[in-house]
Structure 1
Amino acid sequence: MKEIDLTVIIVGWKVKDSLKNCLVSIFQETSKINLEVIVVDNASCDETVEMVAEDFPKVALISNLHNRGFARAVNQGLKQARGRYVLLLNPDTIIVDQALDRMAAFMDSRPEAGIAGCRLLNGDKSLQPSVRKFPSFWGQLAMMFKLHHLIKLNSYLMTGFNYQKEGEVDQVMGAFFMINRKVMETIGLFDEQYHLWFEEVDYCFRAKKHGFKVIYTPQAQIIHLGGQSFAQTYRIKSQWNFSKSRLRYIKKNQSFWLFLIILILMPISLLLSFLFSLISPKNV
């Protein structure tokens, strides 16, 4: 049996059509590496499971009876993954220009890269920002009070980053999140206390603590159409889950006093989110 070069793990919830397009693009645009694809369905009710089973028999399918959250679903896939590299890929992405072949070759050439991300494009082919610094206390405080609508968080968002060049960063977007198996063997699986959001941020933080590099490369690019699973959740529920995950990240990776401040201010932040959802639903 040939060694598997890359395992692609896709976690989805009610994204049947997007997932089908994503899977088609994976197999059409990949030819130079030995590939394994795992789909973890988080209790969709839109015939996603049937579509994968019928149209993509080579894809390993994990069908959950309940929505287990993103981190737990990822871990289900990671436990089965056999590839030298593992790619966490959003279902609302389209692989173009042999991106997976290119990224596997990039990882082979950069053994110090523990985690890597590629160039992301919007549906209109414009650049999609995809790297950030680790969350700072002041940056998160500004976001809690919606100040990011008034002032640009240039440092956190790395607005001056040159996406034409390769660079070491703190974190890459989870839409395309490639992991060297050595990282998994060193730091383990994802933290399942995160239901949604901050899982990849936490994983990058842990990887860098153990000496691995997180690298962005423009050598490959994909199309990322946007958070369709996110779009199907209620805004307030989404904000609640986001706030809980942010609190978890700060408690785990920053000081107790910063955690306590964020905890105390969290109800005010949620109230502001509710008010913003009434005024401007698209910009909570």
Structure 2
Amino acid sequence: MIELSFIIINYNTKNITADCINSININKTLTNINYEIILVDNDSTDGSIKYFTENKYENVIFIKNKKNEGFGKANNIGVKNSNGKYMVLLNSDTIVDQTDFKLLIGKISNEESIGVLSAKILNKDKSIQSIGFDFPSIENEVKLNLLFWNFNFIKKFRYKNYKNKGLFRTEWVSGCFMIIRKLDYKEVGGFDEDIFMYAEDVDLCYRLYKKNKYSFVMDETSIYHLHGQSGNKKRIKLNQLLKRKENYYYVIRKNNILSPFNLFLIKLTYIFNAIVVVTGKKLKNITG
């Protein structure tokens, strides 16, 4: 009987996806846990399909999509083809060789109110990248967009003296690492396939929240997320930043999280944030 199904989406990230798979297969806490790895390729053009077809990685089931279906739909395809009781939704640019899956599975199996369980998400330099987030609100968006609450240079101060709390509840967790019961995932319909990429994690956590299934973080174990390496590496322009946020606004409207007027206000705060970010990068490039 399969207990864990790791779902990984690959799109032109052959090498880091291979590193992610290897980090699962060498994880010592999985020694006595039956698991499978569902690798879903979104029609990559970097030689990934040939590579993963010819190189038979241990415990991997390889699914090849005929087109780029987007992150959410590809995960739904992976879950549909899985056999595990628990799904581990994992970005291709994560490393989990030191993650304590025995601890995490013990927590979620003993607490029915856990809808999604995550761990402490670390940057490559071991600094904290995320330990959960708040649902959209005016207060939260002011912190994020006007006070740059989620920028690395701010987070280094926020988490400077951070001490582990064990298992604690948050409002939503990053889609780069989620553990969820397959039954709960299916109960809410999985990821919204109208979202191609970005904000599908907020939406999933909110829909589970409405079903009294909450998001938790277990910070006594962690993963590494090599943030941005599975996405577009080109220089981001202002219109790209603004467009990226559209899915976030869609989630807010869809779930009636904020009033139309408050949604308008948070859009203004994000426009300010995006202008500052793009201007700052341009100035950095000019000054070298």
TM-score scaled by length of structure 1:
0.82
Q: Give the secondary-structure state (helix, strand or coil) at the position aligned to 2:231.
A: helix
Cα deviations by residue, 1:75-100 (Å, 9 ceiling, x for unpaired): 21122222111111011111223533
Asked whether 1:64 is paired with 2:65, we answer yes
- 1:197-208 matches, within 5 Å, as 197-208=198-209
Distance 1:226 1:263 in 2: 24
Distance 1:83 1:91 in 2: 19
Q: Which deviates the most, 77-86 or 53-62?
A: 53-62
User: Which residue of structure 2 lines up, in the alignment, with residue 182 of structure 1?
Assistant: 183
In the comparison of the two structures, how many residue pairs are matched? 276
1:192 partner amino acid: E
Aligned residue among 232, 246, 254 for 2:258: 254
Q: Which deviates the most, 211-220 or 134-143?
A: 134-143
Q: Give the secondary-structure state (helix, strand or coil) at the position aligned to 1:33.
A: coil
Cα deviations by residue, 1:120-149 (Å, 9 ceiling, x for unpaired): 2332333333311112135436655x5528
**Paired residues of 1:96 and 1:223 also in contact (CA < 8 A):** no
Q: Which deviates the most, 215-224 or 267-276?
A: 267-276
Q: Give the secondary-structure state (helix, strand or coil) at the position aligned to 2:39.
A: strand
- Do the aligned partners of residues 169 and 142 (structure 1) sit closer, same or farther apart at CA in structure 2, a change above 3 Å counting? closer
Distance 1:216 1:125 in 2: 17
User: Which residue of structure 1 lines up, in the alignment, with residue 32 of structure 2?
Assistant: 32
Cα deviations by residue, 1:94-130 (Å, 9 ceiling, x for unpaired): 1223533332232222232111001223323333333
In structure 2, list runs of 5 or more residues that go unmatched. none
1:25 partner amino acid: S
User: Which residue of structure 2 lines up, in the alignment, with residue 52 of structure 1?
Assistant: 52
TM-score scaled by length of structure 2:
0.81
Distance 1:150 1:104 in 2: 29
**Paired residues of 2:136 and 2:258 also in contact (CA < 8 A):** no
Distance 1:95 1:9 in 2: 13
Distance 1:202 1:158 in 2: 26
**Paired residues of 1:53 and 1:61 also in contact (CA < 8 A):** yes
Distance 1:31 1:90 in 2: 22
User: Which residue of structure 2 lines up, in the alignment, with residue 88 of structure 1?
Assistant: 89
- Do the aligned partners of residues 149 and 84 (structure 1) sit closer, same or farther apart at CA in structure 2, a change above 3 Å counting? closer
2:16 partner amino acid: S
User: Which residue of structure 2 lines up, in the alignment, with residue 106 of structure 1?
Assistant: 107
**Paired residues of 1:247 and 1:262 also in contact (CA < 8 A):** no
- 1:227-238 matches, within 5 Å, as 227-236=228-237, 238=240
Following superposition, the deviation at residue 17 of structure 1 comes to 1.1
User: Which residue of structure 1 lines up, in the alignment, with residue 172 of structure 2?
Assistant: 171
In structure 1, list runs of 5 or more residues that go unmatched. none
CA RMSD of aligned residues (A): 3.1
Aligned residue among 5, 12, 15 for 1:14: 12
Identity %: 26
**Paired residues of 2:115 and 2:181 also in contact (CA < 8 A):** yes
User: Which residue of structure 1 lines up, in the alignment, with residue 218 of structure 2?
Assistant: 217
